[in-house]
Amino acid sequence: MRAAIIDAPAKIRVASIPDPTPRPGELVIRVGACGICGTDLHIVDGDSPLARYPVVPGHEFAGEVVAIGEHAALIGSGVKVGTRVAVDPNMPCCHCEFCRTGHENLCLYYAALGVTVNGACAEYVTVPAANAYVLPDTMTIREGALIEPVSCAVHGMHCLDPKSGDTFLIVGAGTMGLLLLQLALHGGASRVAVADVNTQRLARAEQLGATRTHKDINKLLADEPLGFDCVIDATGVPSVMEAAFAAVKRGGKFMVFGVAPNEARISLSPFRIYNDEIKIMGSMAILFSFQPALDLISGGIIDTRAMLTAALPLEDFPKALTMVRHGEGVKTQIIPNG
């Protein structure tokens, strides 16, 4: 089969590798669509501490079951050859302290398809049957491949736990910022302001219902002088996070959703955290949020038309990375069997 391979940081190729065969408990999926995101850029750039090389990237995908390993049909609740599925790429160990206390996303022995083992930027991918979710007939494969990023946004909202009527500031209007915007509006936010340096992205945020958008956080703060109940950073840029923190209302919440470099540091006022009773939280990947994300998409809550932009063949994997790096469009996907 053809696959995109990252041999080492900055060493990418599209080449032929052996077709996968399923071991017990596994399925082989013929990949219909696979999204590209910032995580893939981190693996290519060599700044993902979790990545192993060589690796076939691709962790946001859906496709059709073509082979079923021993016992896998039992685990994968009714999957047959031909069943269309989306796959949660996370493979927690299930026996460390964090897994055993319901925090599988914080697993000490983290493994994931497309990061530590081969993923779905390939014609076929092998997956644990337990990670497969059957798609409703009404959902397209490209929508199915959007479940994974939506699932991360859903986990973010679970962590943030906003109240009905809260005001929001979302900083960063890439795929994740735009998904968080839609979830905030659906979840009962009274006003959602969105900041981004890219004006095309701000226009998209307005189409999706943002109350107010601007390049400059301070301009948005001028309309909301007491600040926002919930401020979410979806950029991972340290200087932007510091500016965003200044926009949190007294008693409000600040969530770090964007992925900053491991060695980055930000400067916050501890007096303000104390005196204004500000809650600071993080949100990492997915936790019990894959099925809710599937349901939000099939229920029409997420505007998938606005989210799904470019679809490229596998041979264009390097081009897809460049598009994501330059913030072109929203969600860029690879169609390996197009």
How many angstroms separate the CA atoms of 135 and 61, rounded? 12
Q: Cβ(105)–Cβ(284) under 8 Å?
A: yes
Paired strand residues for 255: 232, 281
Residue 294 is inside which H or E element, if any? helix 290-298
CB 280 → Zn ion: shortest distance, Å?
24
Q: Is residue 284 within the footprint of Zn ion (CB under 5 A)? A: no
CB 95 → Zn ion: shortest distance, Å?
6
Q: Is residue 39 within the footprint of Zn ion (CB under 5 A)? A: yes
CB 142 → Zn ion: shortest distance, Å?
15
Q: Is residue 106 within the footprint of Zn ion (CB under 5 A)? A: no
Of 96, 117, 130, 243, which lies in the binding site for Zn ion, with binding defined by CB under 5 A?
Answer: 96
How many angstroms separate the CA atoms of 75 and 267, rounded? 48
Q: Is residue 41 within the footprint of Zn ion (CB under 5 A)? A: no
Of residues 43 through 62, those in contact with Zn ion by CB under 5 A are: 60
- The length of the chain in residues reads 338
Q: Is residue 99 within the footprint of Zn ion (CB under 5 A)? A: yes
How many angstroms separate the CA atoms of 53 and 58, rounded? 14
How many angstroms separate the CA atoms of 26 and 95, rounded? 20
Phi-psi region of 119 (alpha: psi -120 to 50; beta: other; left: phi over 0): beta
Of 93, 246, 306, 310, which lies in the binding site for Zn ion, with binding defined by CB under 5 A?
Answer: 93
Nearer to Zn ion, 96 or 273 (CB): 96
CB 97 → Zn ion: shortest distance, Å?
8
Q: Is residue 107 within the footprint of Zn ion (CB under 5 A)? A: yes
Q: Which stretches of the chain bind Zn ion, using CB under 5 A?
A: 37, 39, 60, 92-93, 96, 99, 107
